[in-house]
Chains A and B, each alone.
Chain A
Amino acid sequence: DAMVIQNPRYQVTQFGKPVTLSCSQTLNHNVMYWYQQKSSQAPKLLFHYYDKDFNNEADTPDNFQSRRPNTSFCFLDIRSPGLGDAAMYLCATSGSLVPEAFFGQGTRLTVV
């Protein structure tokens, strides 16, 4: 059973049109992460939540926002997608009792 679920798996959006990617988890983990991964590169941390406490990476563009309305759900909003934002977006969770992070299968975003 999938524990970290990302929807949709593939998303096509128009240049400049806002898009939202979603992530849900059944693990009741208090930490949730969003990573961006471009081709042949390692995943890059955009931000993470510890419970409701939002932590933005210093080099994450303002174009990227996030919401976490409850423990189970987290959203990534891209306000005005550019061609350079085409990538795989990975959501992950971790808890305070186990060291490892659990990843969703990712959403591949295409910008046209």
Chain B
Amino acid sequence: GQNIDQPTEMTATEGAIVQINCTYQTSGFNGLFWYQQHAGEAPTFLSYNVLDGLEEKGRFSSFLSRSKGYSYLLLKELQMKDSASYLCAPARDNYGQNFVFGPGTRLSVLP
């Protein structure tokens, strides 16, 4: 089985930095995805970590610690358009990207 935990909601101010944490326990593990989902839209891919450490991609960075079952998504220089749900998704199997989403964190960016 799997157990994935994220904060339900977070609020931050435009221009600030926010860190969204995710802890997970899965029966298999082949990396961890972060997706962004705006209200009424499909999820879009943000990052994929398969090795421990920090991956930086523009304003977004993602960190993984496999031994701790822990990941975070770091968003810098927040913009209003970053208001969305952020979904942590551990990939379970080795042959592909078989993944399930965590409960999601709804981020509100205030002016």
Taking beta carbons and an 8 Å cutoff, which residues of A are in contact with B? 30-31, 35, 41-45, 48, 50, 55, 57, 90, 94, 96, 99-106
Contact = CB atoms under 8 A, between A and B. Distances in A.
B96 A42 contact: no
B100 A100 contact: no
B85 A31 contact: no
Interface of B: 31, 33, 41-45, 48, 50, 85, 87, 91, 95-104
Given A42-B85, A42-B104, A43-B101, A99 B31 contact: yes
Q: Which of B48, B101, B102, B104 has the most CB of A within 10 A?
A: B101
Given A42-B85, A42-B103, A42-B104, A101 B98 contact: no
20 contacts: A31-B96, A31-B98, A42-B85, A42-B103, A43-B43, A43-B87, A43-B101, A44-B100, A45-B101, A50-B96, A57-B100, A90-B42, A94-B96, A94-B97, A99-B33, A99-B48, A100-B45, A101-B33, A101-B97, A103-B43
